[in-house]
Amino acid sequence: MGPAGAGKTSTYKMLIKANEKDGKKMEFVDLDPKVVHSRDLYGYMLPSKEWKDGLLSKLLRTYAEQESTNSKWIILDGDLDANWIESMNSVMDDNKILTLANNERIPVKPHMRLIFEIRDLKYATPATVSRAGILYISDDYGT
C-alpha cells in the first residue's frame, strides 16, 4: 500500500527476481480488478444456466489445478472498492477459498498468493483490513 510512484511494483518485482535467482520458479499475473465489472472478474450465470468464468476465477482455477507447486502470484493492482473486494474475504480468511455465485469453491493452495497493490484503505471494510497483511511503502525519501 502506498502512493503512486512510491515503489510498490518495483518491490514485488524485486522479490520475484530474488526468488528466481535463488532457484525458485515464479509465475505472476498483474490485473486491475476495476477495469471490469465484478461479474467479469468472478464469473456469472448465463441465461442458459451455464456458468461463465471471470478473469480471476479462471486464473485461480487454472493455478489450483496445476500439478506444479512453483509459486504463483496474482497481483491485483487497483484501488479497493466494495464491488469487488468483499467477495475476497473468504479467500483472505483461514478458509482460503473463493466461493463463486454458482456455489463452486476454488481453493487457494499454499503455492498461490494474492497481492493487492493499492493506494490506501479508504474504502476497505474492517473485515477486509483484519484479514490482510499490510506493507506500507512511503514516497517520503527522507528529504
Q: Does domain 8-131 have CATH number 3.40.50.300?
A: yes
Q: Which residues of 59-91 are buried (b: 16+ CB within 10 A; e: fewer)?
A: bbbebbeeeeeebbbbbbbbbbeeebbebbebb
Give tens-digit pLDDT for 37-70.
989 999 999 999 999 999 999 999 999 999 888 9
- Distance CA(31)–CA(121), nearest Å, equals 19
The mean per-residue pLDDT over the stretch 99-110 comes to 93
- As beta bridge partners, residue 71 has 26
Number of C-alpha atoms within 13 angstroms, CB side, residue 44? Answer: 8
Residue bearing the bigger pLDDT, 140 or 53: 53
CA angle 75, 130, 5 (to 5 degrees): 40
